[in-house]
Amino acid sequence: MEVEYLRHGVPLADYPLTKADHRRQREAVQVHEWVQRQLAKAPPWSDKHLEEMRQLLGPPTPPWELQRWRLRLYCGHVIEATRNRNNPRPDGGGRDEERCPECGLNPAVIVAFEPLGPAAEPPAESRSLMSSRSTRQPPADRRSKAELVAENNALRAELEVLRDQA
């Protein structure tokens, strides 16, 4: 599946902040502060719990599954960031903010963005696996919806006969 990446504004051009940008930044700061307060109340995690979470999350995303983006942040700084290649926008999936590495503003909402390209090319064996996945045929033992409906109707009729006999 090929994703068509979107762009919003021109990160390298002058960008006048809008009322919506100011509102989103204010809301992001409020959410960030609330989360920090909740984390301060929470008991620390044990090493065992941290390891269980690492196991649950799995290995880090390989670089060939990441897309590079140029982002203009609320503070005006322009940075490069990576996101999952399946998202058409860098601010999708609940992550519409960054920590600015230049001024330290955290959070800094994304106000403009443009795609730059993949973070890395997949290794040769991954490319051949991905291309074979797209041409793969469904298993021979899979039945069509019509076949399943017919079998369901036959079983319902058989059940009615058995109920009448009882």
41-67 per-position pLDDT tens digit: 999 999 999 999 999 999 999 999 999
66: three-class secondary structure by DSSP: strand
pLDDT of 125 reads 72
Strand order in the sheet with 97-98: 78-84, 66-73, 108-118, 97-98
107: three-class secondary structure by DSSP: coil
7-43 per-position pLDDT tens digit: 988 899 999 999 999 999 999 999 999 999 999 999 9
Name the β-bridge partners of 82: 68
Residue type, 84: N
CB 87 within 8 A of CB 113: no
Count how many Cα atoms sit within 13 Å of the Cα of residue 99 in the half-sphere of its side chain: 4
Q: Token digits for 74?
A: 């609320």
What pTM value is reported for the model?
0.68
